[in-house]
């Protein structure tokens, strides 16, 4: 997206505004440096001291860290409960009647839930789970719209020590099934449906389809959101409100080990099978809480809104667990930003007085395209801090966000992290650090990233390399659910002894980090991770497809778009119809958000002599329309000619 000539130049360095710095939780670069250095000198005790003061424990831990690489245990011997920390402890203070959740549904319905009310609702839901016979250690799947009950379900599970896996409502029945099976879940918590662009997303229908082949499922709890007719299977399916009729409000939080599994979140990796990223309790909650204070500069009086869905890690750490543990007021909105019009978000900002607003570059670019007249209709004067997550933010989008939404007064925190890291690892502390548009700036205290070459040696400043971490941090993933070998292999083998992020980055002469994007077969579409292999596996399951190779193609709004090269089985013709059918097929297998932008049919795919598909060449074709890289291992040069020619005909 190029910058029209009439706009002011994009700044290269934006110091913290004086007024902001004066009130900030961490004010001035010296304060950041002092904290960073203190943490670097003794990370385990740095985190240990914070854990002791920032979280409430039933039993104090014995040791901050037990590190048997690559397996970490944080706050061993400690007992706590995440739902107690997110809810009950605030009820004991003057925050008792503070809004915990401000909710607006897409049709316009509103709810404000105080901490005290949230405690009642969480206990009642936990009581329903107990009534169904669920116990600590059983697993739950949550497949819900963006409504308070999604958070209540998460916290209800956490209260009882039932690890949950939230599955984004945009995933299909097939994807849901795979996750239920991998987790061997006993219960699915869902709704009849949810509202999105004035249409109903039929969640219960997808659950019915999925659980047909999930023998571990004993119960399905259904929240009535849309009121549409759903099939309820006697004995298995229960209405949330019916269970609630006999629920009690005095359900004690279970005293759990610090390392008790809190949740598993499935994410795409470099194979066709999603990985169940395991997060545990004490360490995860501590880092989610601290980053709320450091990066979002959270104050008692803030109204904080992160637009992510609870189905993604951002929704876990920065809609539910982080904000609630820190005692914030967190806003949840059910629907799409363009319903009924493109100013829905700005309308919500003014209506609820949102002061911290956290979203994704894709959303920003989509809103830029609609024009400045939408935000111009609203004051937006309550906003004091903006945030961005999920993908690199291009400087033009940064500048628009800063000028049109932040009215040139609000810092923007560009936060780099991953499902696996659990919490933000690289981001500015906005009252301390000058911003460079497109850079996540500096690491959080206790985090020591490095940028290395293929052999694991640090590269010079200014040079691009792989982003790695050599030391453990409290909110790091503990393993891949049920597959510790894959955990070791995927994250800790590329650079021996270090966690491999899968991202390329560079550090500039001022020490600022610039994360450039993935170096593996993971695409980033609208800030969501999609694996090329996962889409390829879906495509080759289709009866007409012989082979498929998928690559990410640059896209003006979504960052990358899914582009598929497909060869068909002998005798299959009618490409025209098949293109649409295959796009729909992928949506059916994975979910509508994974629907490919483009299907290109080809006679053959470029392969090495040993038969490996050379995706690198395909990436070059979709990015630069030519192949300049090394092709010496390519088996058949003619394939390349025909692939390039296929593009020329587009």
Q: Which residues contact ligand PRX (rule: CB under 6 A)? A: 267, 313-314, 389-392, 414-419, 440, 501-503, 515, 517-518, 524, 529
> Alpha helices of 212-309 — where are they, by DSSP H?
240-245, 282-294
Closer residue to ligand PRX, CB minimum distance, 32 or 416: 416
Cα dihedral 506, 507, 512, 515 in deg (nearest 10): 20
Contacts of 548 (CB under 8 A, 6+ apart): 535, 536, 539, 540, 564, 565, 566, 567
CB of 606 to ligand PRX, least distance (A): 26
Minimal distance in Å, beta carbon 267 to ligand PRX?
A: 5
- What phi and psi, each to the nearest 5 degrees, are found at residue 385? -150, 140
Distance CA(537)–CA(548), nearest Å, equals 8
Cα separation of 589 and 36, whole Å?
45
Q: How far is the CB of 362 from ligand PRX (least distance, A)?
A: 11
Q: Please report how close the Cβ of residue 458 comes to ligand PRX at its closest, in angstroms.
A: 20
Q: What distances in angstroms separate CA 549 from CA 161, 391, 536, 567, one per listed residue?
A: 41, 23, 6, 9
Alpha-carbon distance of 144 to 157, in angstroms, equals 14
For the CB of residue 386, give the shortest distance to ligand PRX in the complex, in Å: 13
Quick one: 417 or 499, whose CB is closer to ligand PRX?
417
Query: Please, what is the minimum distance in Å from the beta carbon of residue 622 to ligand PRX?
Result: 19
Query: Which is nearer to ligand PRX, 204 or 528 (by Cβ)?
Result: 528
We find the least distance from the C-beta atom of residue 152 to ligand PRX, in angstroms, to be: 23
Residue closer to ligand PRX by CB (options 48, 440) is 440
Query: Residue 390 Cβ, how far from ligand PRX at the closest point, in Å?
Result: 5
Query: Which has the closest alpha carbon to 602: 552, 642, 631?
Result: 642
The distance of closest approach from Cβ of residue 504 to ligand PRX in the complex, given in angstroms and rounded to an integer, is: 9
Closest CB to ligand PRX among residues 313, 618 = 313
Closer residue to ligand PRX in complex, CB, 207/477: 477
Q: How far is the CB of 518 from ligand PRX (least distance, A)?
A: 5
- For 474-487, letters b (16+ CB in 10 Å) and e give bbbbbbbbebeebb
Structure-block tokens of residue 150: 């999604």
CA atoms within 13 A on the CB side of 492: 20
The CB-of-418 to ligand PRX minimum distance in angstroms stands at 4
HEC string for 132-193: CCCCCCCCEEEECCCCHHHHHHHHHHHHHCCCEEECCCCCCHHHHHHHHHHHCCCEEEEECC
Residue 397 to residue 383: CA distance in whole angstroms = 18
List of residues 6+ apart from 626 with CB closer than 8 A: 620, 644
- How far apart CA 45 and CA 39 sit, in angstroms, is 8
**Please, which residue, 127 or 325, has the CB nearer to ligand PRX?**
325
CA angle at residue 129 from 305 to 95, to 5 degrees? Answer: 40
Q: Could you tell me how many helices (H) and strands (E) the chain has, helices first? A: 22, 29
DSSP calls for 95-106: GGGSEEEEEE-T
- The closest residue (CB) to ligand PRX is 419
Nearer of residues 367 and 393 to ligand PRX, judged by Cβ: 393
Closer Cβ to ligand PRX, 61 or 312, answer by number: 312
The nearest distance, CB 516 to ligand PRX, in angstroms, is 8
Which CB, 520 or 598, lies closer to ligand PRX? 520
Residue number with CB closer to ligand PRX (258 or 314): 314
CB of 426 to ligand PRX, least distance (A): 8
In whole angstroms, give the CA distance from residue 21 to residue 432: 7
Least distance to ligand PRX from the beta carbon of 421, Å? 8
- Residue 138: exposure state from Cβ atoms within 10 A (0-12, 13-18, ≥19): buried
Residue number, 305 or 352, with CB nearest to ligand PRX: 305
CA distances in angstroms from 350 to 55, 347, 371, 381, 398, listed in the order given: 33, 5, 19, 8, 21
Closest CA to 305 of 103, 528, 96: 103
State the DSSP string of 23-79: H-SS-SHHHHHHHHHHHHH-HHHHHHHHHHHHS--SB--SEEEEEETTEEEEEET-E
C-beta of 73 vs 518, nearer to ligand PRX: 518
Classify residue 185 by burial, with Cβ atoms within 10 Å: 0-12, 13-18, 19+. Answer: buried
Q: Which is nearer to ligand PRX, 274 or 283 (CB)?
A: 274
Q: Which residue has the tokens 């599955």?
A: 167
Least distance CB 337 / ligand PRX (angstroms): 18
> Which is nearer to ligand PRX, 285 or 515 (by Cβ)?
515
Task: Report d(CA 549, CA 532) in Å as an integer.
Answer: 8
């Amino acid at each position: 997206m190029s910058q029209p000539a009439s706009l002011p130049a994009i700044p290269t360095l934006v110091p913290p505004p004086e007024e902001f710095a004066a009130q900030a939780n961490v004010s001035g670069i010296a304060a950041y440096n002092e904290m960073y250095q203190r943490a670097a000198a003794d990370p385990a005790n740095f985190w240990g001291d914070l854990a002791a003061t920032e979280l409430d424990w039933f039993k104090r831990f014995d040791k901050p860290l037990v590190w048997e690489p690559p397996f970490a245990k944080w706050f061993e011997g400690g007992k706590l409960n995440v739902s107690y920390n997110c809810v009950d402890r605030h009820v004991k203070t003057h925050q008792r009647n503070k809004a915990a959740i401000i909710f607006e549904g897409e049709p316009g319905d509103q709810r404000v839930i105080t901490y005290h009310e949230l405690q009642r609702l969480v206990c009642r839901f936990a009581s329903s789970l107990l009534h169904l016979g669920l116990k600590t250690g059983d697993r739950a799947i949550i497949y819900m719209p963006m409504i308070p009950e999604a958070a209540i379900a998460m916290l209800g599970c956490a209260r009882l020590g039932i690890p949950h896996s939230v599955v984004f409502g945009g995933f299909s029945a097939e994807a849901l099934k795979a996750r239920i099976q991998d987790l061997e879940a006993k219960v699915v918590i869902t709704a009849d449906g949810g509202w999105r662009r004035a249409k109903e997303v039929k969640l219960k229908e997808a659950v019915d389809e999925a659980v047909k082949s999930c023998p571990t499922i004993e119960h399905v709890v259904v929240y009535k959101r849309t009121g549409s007719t759903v099939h309820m299977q006697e004995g298995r399916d229960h209405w949330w409100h019916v269970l609630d009729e006999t629920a009690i409000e005095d359900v004690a939080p279970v005293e759990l080990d610090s390392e008790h599994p809190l949740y598993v979140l499935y994410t795409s990796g470099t194979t066709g099978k999603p990985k169940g990223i395991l997060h545990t309790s004490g360490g995860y909650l501590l880092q989610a809480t601290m980053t709320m204070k450091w990066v979002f500069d959270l104050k008692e009086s803030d109204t904080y809104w992160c637009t992510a869905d609870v189905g993604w890690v951002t929704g876990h750490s920065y809609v539910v667990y982080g904000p609630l543990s820190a005692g914030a007021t967190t806003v949840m909105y059910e629907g799409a930003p363009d319903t009924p019009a493109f100013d829905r978000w700005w309308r919500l900002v003014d209506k609820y007085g949102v002061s911290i607003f956290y979203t994704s570059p894709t959303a920003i670019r989509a809103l830029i395209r609609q024009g400045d007249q939408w935000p111009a209709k609203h004051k937006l004067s309550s906003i004091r801090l903006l945030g961005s997550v999920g993908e690199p933010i291009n400087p033009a989008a940064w500048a628009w966000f800063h000028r049109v939404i932040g009215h040139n007064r609000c810092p923007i925190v560009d936060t780099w992290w991953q499902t696996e890291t659990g919490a933000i690892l690289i981001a500015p502390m906005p009252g301390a650090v000058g911003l460079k548009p497109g850079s996540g700036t500096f690491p959080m205290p206790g985090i020591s990233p490095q940028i290395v070459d293929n052999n694991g040696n640090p590269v010079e400043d200014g040079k691009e390399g792989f982003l790695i971490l050599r030391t453990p941090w409290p909110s790091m993933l503990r393993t891949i659910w049920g597959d510790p070998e894959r955990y070791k292999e995927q994250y800790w083998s590329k650079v021996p002894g270090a966690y491999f992020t899968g991202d390329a980055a560079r550090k500039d002469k001022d020490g600022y980090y610039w994360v450039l994007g993935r170096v593996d077969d993971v695409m980033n579409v609208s800030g969501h991770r999609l694996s090329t292999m996962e889409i390829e596996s879906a495509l080759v399951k289709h009866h007409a497809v012989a082979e498929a190779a998928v690559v990410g193609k640059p896209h003006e709004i979504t960052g990358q778009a899914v582009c598929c090269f497909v060869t068909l089985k002998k005798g299959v013709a009618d490409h025209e119809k098949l293109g649409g059918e295959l796009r729909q097929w992928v949506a059916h297998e994975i979910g509508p958000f994974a629907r490919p932008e483009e299907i290109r049919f080809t006679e053959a795919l470029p392969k090495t002599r040993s038969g490996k598909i050379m995706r690198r060449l395909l990436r070059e074709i979709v990015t630069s329309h030519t192949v300049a890289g090394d092709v010496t291992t390519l088996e058949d040069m003619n394939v390349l000619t025909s692939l390039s020619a296929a593009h020329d005909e587009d």
